[in-house]
Chain A
Amino acid sequence: SAVISQKPSRDICQRGTSLTIQCQVDSQVTMMFWYRQQPGQSLTLIATANQGSEATYESGFVIDKFPISRPNLTFSTLTVSNMSPEDSSIYLCSVEVGTVNTEAFFGQGTRLTVV
């Protein structure tokens, strides 16, 4: 299993600013992912955070808006840049431990409100 700590748990930010969300795992993991959950909606995959290399982004998400770092096997950050009210969402970190096609663990999310 894996225990995920996300920080901050929530924040209220001014439009035009940026927020960096941290995801810390209590053990080394193979895969790390970032998701967005807009109000009342399902989860949307933003990107796969690759250790030591650039993240792999899904369609509709770009590095300039959502830069991601993953310096090691237990830590990743997601930055939401130049925020607008449309970025108000819950952002979730997810990890897989071990081989492909195993269970994924999710953090409790960061609830972001942009005003």
Chain B
Amino acid sequence: DAKTTQPTSMDCAEGRAANLPCNHSTISGNEYVYWYRQIHSQGPQYIIHGLKNNETNEMASLIITEDRKSSTLILPHATLRDTAVYYCIVSYHKLVFGAGTILRVKS
């Protein structure tokens, strides 16, 4: 079973930052936090991952709380093309997907 809890859906205005929360209170010390997204009819796409420290790449930022029991994915300037299902996964070896958050970016 997935070890994460995410909101079912969220809306975001185009051009604004999208902040997607994830709870993972039972995360183990060696498990990473991963974020993937799936745009309709496509395979999942990797976004970012981290262990303890905050991470940033060209797509997004990942903020992990100090106790590692929750995290937030930040898309700094959401566009319509960011509309997708976003999956937060905690894993050491294999990815177990939960239900994810449907993010709708609206103009």
Contact = CB atoms under 8 A, between A and B. Distances in A.
Interface of A: 4, 33, 35, 42-45, 48, 92, 94, 100-101, 103-109
Q: Is the interface of B mostly helix, strand, loop or mixed?
A: loop
A96 to B, nearest CB: 9
A101 B97 contact: no
B95 A45 contact: yes
Given A42-B87, A101-B32, A106 B94 contact: no
Contacts of B96: 45
A45 B94 contact: yes
Interface of B: 32, 36, 42-46, 49, 51, 85, 87, 91-100
Contacts of B100: 42
B46 A105 contact: yes
Contact of A43 (B49, B92, B97): B97
17 contacts: A33-B95, A42-B85, A43-B44, A43-B97, A44-B97, A45-B95, A45-B96, A45-B97, A48-B94, A92-B44, A100-B93, A101-B93, A103-B46, A104-B44, A106-B44, A107-B43, A108-B42
In order of increasing CB-CB distance, the 10 nearest A-B pairs are: A106-B43, A103-B46, A43-B97, A42-B97, A106-B44, A108-B43, A101-B32, A42-B99, A107-B43, A92-B43
B98 A42 contact: yes
B93 to A, nearest CB: 6
A35 B89 CA distance: 15
A101 B49 CA distance: 9
A92 B42 CA distance: 10
B69 to A, nearest CB: 19
Contacts of A45: 94-97
A30 B91 CA distance: 17
